Homo-oligomer: A and B are copies of this chain.
């Protein structure tokens, strides 16, 4: 194409923002025209991120809607929650396309948002405009949208692992248990004892048990797919590695099915969708098999002893769980092939 779409990234000094930079730098249709950081405005981005030396020489811009509007057509918000709630309406009102990676516009109910996020919810008028960008499930709604709310990392892995069953109505919706595990980059770049190397290395732990803010997001989408309310059990764990999420999902079927039948359902549900890969019987995906890529790999096992189905779903939390899916959403929104700029192989080993 002759002219590239101009993209701005707010929150360029977090892990989601810096991964957006990595992905967009080799995107054939996009030019990054502004990288923005409230905390480090004025400094060259490569100062804080030496891996960008001689690759990106830009200086960080301040969060200035007018300025950014003049430089870019689309803005990615890779900010902590609370911040996007403030910024997204301004960029939308200025006529820009907005892709928000935060959790601020994912929950349709402000009340639910406030309960789980312990934060004032965003303006409902804008919440209503946001299209939930789980590409393989709601891709049709994304095409031509102006405002995308990018799914959370745990919801992406979990929902892709459950969507076919929920949509088809094959499961007992009261039986859902999700045991999720994440690498530490999911906690972001902000300092805390729970991301301190010596505390987390050679350690494994559960956190926010029954309290994680991604719970209502998963429930809302499952409910939408199933056509009735869903309440589930959700536990998150921290793995001593940087990237990767694995969700182990337990469900009871509501009728007798064979594992083959279920696998076939998944294959047909995701037909033509490059980034979801279903494993053969007896094979389960490992997080390393998707590292650095936009893939979501899924395996499953139906236990004849219990009649319970176990689904294993993995993603790279920084790619498919954040920046990669955001780019995939941009592709869909612009009418491009969804894999544009994302068609690379996982980094292995």
A residues adjacent to B (C-beta < 8 A): 15, 18-19, 21-22, 25-26, 49-55, 174, 177, 179, 181, 183-185, 187, 189, 191-193, 195-207, 209-210, 231-233, 235, 237, 239-244, 246, 248, 250, 274, 277, 279, 283-293, 297, 299, 301, 303, 305-306, 308, 310, 312, 314, 343-349
Contacts and interface: CB of A to CB of B under 8 A. Distances in A.
Nearest to A53: B277
Contact of A232 (B209, B288, B306, B343): B306
B192 A243 contact: no
Closest 3 pairs (CB-CB, A-B): A205-B286, A203-B288, A179-B179
Contacts of A174: 306
Contacts of A291: 51, 202
Given A202-B244, A205-B284, A301-B209, A346 B51 contact: yes
A241 B52 contact: no
B347 A246 contact: no
Nearest to A49: B348
A279 B47 CA distance: 11
A306 to B, nearest CB: 5
B345 A21 contact: yes
B250 A233 contact: yes
Contacts of A191: 191-193, 196
A181 B180 CA distance: 11
B233 A310 contact: yes
A345 B55 contact: yes
Nearest to A197: B184
18 contacts: A50-B283, A51-B288, A51-B289, A51-B293, A51-B345, A174-B306, A183-B198, A189-B196, A191-B192, A202-B241, A202-B242, A202-B291, A203-B288, A205-B287, A209-B301, A210-B310, A233-B308, A237-B246
A43 B286 CA distance: 21
B198 A15 contact: yes
A287 B198 CA distance: 13
Contacts of A198: 15, 183-185, 187, 189, 195, 242, 349
B195 A250 contact: no
A314 B50 CA distance: 13
Given A53-B289, A347-B347, 17 more contacts: A22-B348, A26-B344, A50-B289, A53-B297, A179-B179, A184-B201, A189-B198, A197-B242, A198-B242, A199-B288, A202-B242, A203-B288, A209-B301, A210-B305, A235-B248, A250-B250, A292-B347
A334 B110 CA distance: 60
A348 B345 CA distance: 16
Nearest to A25: B345
B248 A201 contact: no
A85 to B, nearest CB: 25
Contact of A205 (B52, B242, B246): B246
A307 to B, nearest CB: 10
A197 B205 contact: no
Contacts of A185: 198, 349
A93 to B, nearest CB: 33
